[in-house]
Structure formats: C-alpha cells, structure tokens
Amino acid sequence: MKETPRQRQHRQTMADIRRLAHQQLATEGSAGLSLRAIARELGLVSSAIYRYVPSRDELLTLLIEESYTAYGDAVEAAEARCRRDDLGRRWLTTGRAVRRWAVANPAEWALLYGSPVPGYQAPSERTTAAGSRVPILLLNLLADAGLEPSPDDPPMTAALHRELNRIRPAFPGDLKPAVFARGLLAYTSLCGLVSFEVFGQFTNTVTQFPGHLDHQLARLGAVLGLPEARG
C-alpha cells in the first residue's frame, strides 16, 4: 500500500525525534533527555510532540531498542565473517567488535551499560530480546565448542546451581551450569573492560587499549576453554 502524505510526515518526524534524541544523549546524557527541547528544535509546540512520543520513558525505550539493535547487528556481522570451526577467532572477533561499537557510540553504550536512569525501568518485553543478542552469540560459541564442566571449575553453591538451571533454558546450547557460569564471567568481564575504557576509568594506567583487550580476551578464552585463534 502506498504511503499517504500524513504517514510520510509522521515517519519523518519520528526519524527526526530519534536523531535529535541521540544528539541529546551524547551532550546531556540519558538523564538529560527532554522532549520539550526536541520539540523546540523541530519547531513544534511542546504539546504536539506528545502525539509522537507520549513520554520521556517511551523515548528512552525507543533509544534503548535502537541501540541494542545497532549493537547486535554490528557484533553479529563481525562474528559471522569468521570460520565456524575457528572458535578462538570467533571469540576474539566478538570481543573486538563489542569494543569497536562501544568506542564509536559511547553515549549509546552508556545508555545500555552505564548507570540506571533515575525513575526509569526498561520494559523487559521490549528490550530483553534485543539486549540478549550478543550474550547469545557467546553462548552459541560455547555450545559449538562442546564445552563440559572441568575439575578447575570452582565449587558452586546449591542455590546458584538451581538459579543457573532455571535461567539457562532461555538461552541456546543446553550448557551445563558450570559452563554457563563461565559464559557469564566472560561477557561481564568483556563489558567491564570496555566500560573502563569508554568511561575513562583507565586514567594513568592502560593506554594501549586494543592490545590490552586482545591480551585479556586471550586470557578469558583460556578460562572459557577455547582454543587460541588461528593465524
């Protein structure tokens, strides 16, 4: 069906709202988002913008959805270029792609992995699936590697074992709790390393960020039980 002029205008206005919201995110941070300021930029009366975005919370949710989608697209595209049997290369490429996207999009990374926005709770039904794409990429890698629990795995409390058994069916691979826990360690460590760089927490310490990340990815890969990248 052909788009009507009204539909076209609505689509264009929504695109402008999202564009200006991303600009605000970069300059003011997530807590500083203002629909009224966006309305002024667009030459709209402040009440008119609520016909497009009913609240600041809805605007934040739209930005989170877009950011998770762009993040997942970028990391999945990089990992997909690797040979499926080069498990070490897939892990290294995934980690590098996470860093590359975060460094290129620091405001969006802060929205996804920085401090929570006071008074806002992201609706899980709209953000969980998109936010799980990169962790699922890692868990698929562990499943492809056929990893099993190891004598080197530290003891796990019964309560944690039950919790991981409850969580893991929502993810691919049917990984054993000990292997699933290794995946959680690797992903949260990766995000922490990237966040320390993006948020300037390595002041007066690490400056060789790409080399440092590769070194730590190799160490985490060994913890996971993955082979080294080929070549």
What CATH number is given for 1-54 in this structure? 1.10.10
- The predicted structure's pLDDT at residue 55: 94
- The predicted structure's pLDDT at residue 46: 85
Quote the Cα angle for 133-168-196, to 5°: 50
For the 70-224 domain, the top CATH level (class) is mainly alpha
Residue by residue, pLDDT tens for the chain (231 residues) are 788 988 999 899 999 999 999 999 999 999 889 999 999 999 988 889 999 999 999 999 999 999 999 999 999 999 999 999 999 999 999 999 999 999 999 999 999 999 999 899 999 999 999 999 999 999 999 999 999 999 989 999 999 999 999 998 888 778 999 999 999 999 999 999 999 999 999 999 999 999 999 999 999 999 999 999 987
Domain boundaries along the sequence of the chain:
1-54, 70-224
- The predicted structure's pLDDT at residue 58: 95
- The predicted structure's pLDDT at residue 31: 87
